[in-house]
């Protein structure tokens, strides 16, 4: 791609899907750029070069600076610019944040957690074979706690850990094992289906059930296409919680997880 060198300001507003965005943000240099711009809004190429050298612990000699600067200009900045995440002023040598997404900070945090690849310690990773461990993610205030309390009261072999967002759930996955993940469909920043995409990259086998009041053929087809194990509609009575428990047991038994 050739750059405009007339001094004009260029920016892109292409729509970026979660898979592409995670791929972009999984690169350390690109995250360093965006973290720096989140704090300072703008930076020169020299400043970004200094950031890269500092974070990567490289020697700051002339040859290394030139190599890093070249990498920024020809690899990382074009990718970020084409994705609409930055604007590069060629004549000034200045890079600016476009604020394309007010939640970019959340995506940066998600990318960092994704890069950890859900590392788990051996001490916390061994599940109790007599219990089914569920991770329940739902952003409705008080609801996940209520569901968890009901399930644990009505059963003697199910443990439920709750999260109020997909990001919190991913944090829990870093250091814990679960037999099944249950998630709401519509959550802020990272939806239930986008959460599933992240999980599937590292945990292709764990059962994942969408539990939501947002019910339609479209939602169901999207859930199936994304690779959910099951889809359960919420309801006003605890009967729906009982159905969820049955679906969880069935999914875990079928998967042998």
pLDDT per residue as tens, the chain (257 positions): 333 333 333 333 345 666 777 777 777 788 888 888 877 889 999 999 888 888 766 677 888 888 888 888 888 898 888 888 888 998 888 999 886 645 566 666 666 555 544 343 334 444 455 789 999 999 998 899 999 999 999 999 999 999 999 888 988 888 889 999 999 988 887 888 888 888 887 788 899 999 887 665 667 677 777 788 988 888 888 999 999 999 999 999 986 64
159 DSSP β-pair partners: 133
Specify the CATH number of the domain 122-255.
3.40.50.2300
Strand stretches in 85-215, DSSP E: 86-89, 94-97, 132-137, 158-163, 180-183, 208-212
Looking at residue 43, its pLDDT comes to 92
Burial pattern 151-165, b for ≥16 Cβ within 10 A else e, equals beeebeebbbbbbbb
Q: CATH 3.40.50.2300 in the chain: give the residue spans.
A: 122-255
Q: CATH 1.10.10 in the chain: give the residue spans.
A: 9-116
Token digits of residue 206: 């764990």
- Residue written as tokens 């053929």? 217
Number of H helices, E strands in the chain: 12, 9
CA-to-CA distance for 194 and 227, rounded, in angstroms? 11
Looking at residue 16, its pLDDT comes to 61
Fold of 9-116: Arc Repressor Mutant, subunit A (1.10.10)
């Amino acid at each position: 791609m050739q750059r405009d060198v007339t001094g004009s300001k260029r920016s892109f507003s292409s729509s970026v899907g979660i898979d592409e965005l995670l791929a972009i943000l999984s690169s350390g240099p690109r995250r360093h750029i965006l973290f720096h711009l989140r704090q300072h809004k703008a930076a020169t190429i020299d400043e970004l070069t200094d950031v890269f050298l500092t974070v990567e612990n490289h020697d700051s000699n002339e040859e290394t600076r030139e190599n890093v600067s070249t990498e920024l200009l020809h690899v990382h900045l074009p990718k970020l610019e084409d994705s609409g995440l930055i604007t590069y002023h060629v004549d000034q040598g200045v890079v600016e944040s476009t604020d394309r997404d007010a939640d970019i900070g959340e995506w940066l945090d998600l990318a960092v957690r994704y890069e950890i690849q859900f590392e788990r310690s051996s001490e916390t990773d061994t599940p109790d074979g007599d219990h089914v461990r569920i991770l329940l993610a739902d952003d409705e205030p008080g609801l996940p706690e209520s569901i968890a309390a009901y399930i644990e009261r009505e059963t003697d072999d199910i443990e439920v850990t709750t999260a109020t967002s997909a990001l919190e759930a991913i944090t829990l996955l870093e250091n814990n094992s679960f037999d099944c993940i249950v998630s709401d469909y519509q959550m802020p920043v990272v939806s239930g289906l986008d959460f599933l995409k992240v999980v599937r990259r590292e945990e292709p086998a764990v059962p994942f059930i969408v539990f939501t009041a947002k019910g339609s053929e479209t939602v169901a087809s999207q859930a199936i296409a994304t690779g959910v194990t099951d889809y359960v509609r919420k309801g006003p009575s605890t009967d729906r919680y009982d159905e969820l428990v049955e679906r969880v047991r069935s999914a875990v038994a079928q998967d042998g997880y």
